[in-house]
Structure 1
Amino acid sequence: TVAQDLLYATIEDPIPAGAEAVDPGLETSSTALAPGSERVDVDYRYGYWGGWYFNRIEFRDDRVVFLSEFLPAGTYQYTYFLNTTIPGTYQVRPTFAKEVFFPEVNGRSDGLLFTIVEQAG
């Protein structure tokens, strides 16, 4: 939840070890949306007006990064898929958000434990 409008905001959402984020923009990604879901960013292109506030979403090896030039106050939810690869219990760093030019304006979530179990045969 964003309490006030932000300029040049960045959000970093760490990915647990043993998993990788699925980039829906890649033709090699085979993902199915959950029933009743739709991708709001699919038609967004940088520099165009629209209802989507994140100018760039980067799927990196260890985190997903959201960048916004202008993020109005409000609550946002973005869902992405993870491919789990290595069973185990992993600590996940907190999600961290800040304004790029005013890093004292920031917030973070709680860290968590993420467990991947081996699929039975």
Structure 2
Amino acid sequence: MLLIAAALTVLIGLYHSFAGEQRLIRPLLALDTLPRLRGSTNFTRALIRTAWHITTLAWFGLAGILIVMDGQNGAGRTGVLGIIAAVFAVSGIAALVLGRGRHPAWLAFLPIAGLSGFAALQG
């Protein structure tokens, strides 16, 4: 179960980086109306791109934790998986509600939450 959740997490991260870069980040950074942070739109562009891709790196880290937790037992495993399940559940609900179902992130976040939560309940 957790390996499936980890694979979904990696896949959503890859999609997020590649599709987001093409569909959102590049068009956004091409705008002439970006604010000048620290005196430069170059800094603004670097900050936006870095923040976007850091999200993907965080998801890869969570996937790694899911893989490690697959071989663990005990209260620590339950706690870590419960936190991961909660993060993905809230993320999935937010994507579903705020995006009015149009953004597909909830389709991956909610199953990841369910798989992680189920594994947490198993101890």
Q: TM-score band, normalised by the shorter chain?
A: under 0.3
Larger strand proportion, structure 1 or 2? 1
- If the length of structure 1 is used for normalisation, what is the TM-score? 0.24
- If the length of structure 2 is used for normalisation, what is the TM-score? 0.24
